[in-house]
Amino acid sequence: MQFYGGEDPATGSAAGCAISYLVQQGAAASGETAHVRQGVEIGRPSDLFLSARNEAARVTDVRVGGSTVPVAKGQLFLP
């Protein structure tokens, strides 16, 4: 939705990176679950639950779970 100027549907891969950064910077607590609700404005609501641990100056155990609305489906075949 970058050209729409509104809200994006949930993206799990981006959420994993986001919680990793937030935990590393101390903006989110290590090991606690953060809730992200996204996609409401565009009629594709998603609830994501994120967590990560900061142990010995390393981010570990990055977890992303929840519900999403499929936007596309496909398969990848490698030669």
- Does an H or E element contain 2, and which? none
Q: Render pLDDT for 4-42 as a digit per residue (tens, 0 to 9).
A: 666 666 777 788 889 999 999 999 999 999 999 888 887
Mean pLDDT of the chain: 83
Find out if CATH 3.40.50.20 is the number for domain 12-67: no
Residue 6 per-residue DSSP state: S
* pTM for this entry: 0.71
Q: CB–CB of 36/47 below 8 Å? A: yes
Q: Where are the domains positioned within the chain?
A: 12-67
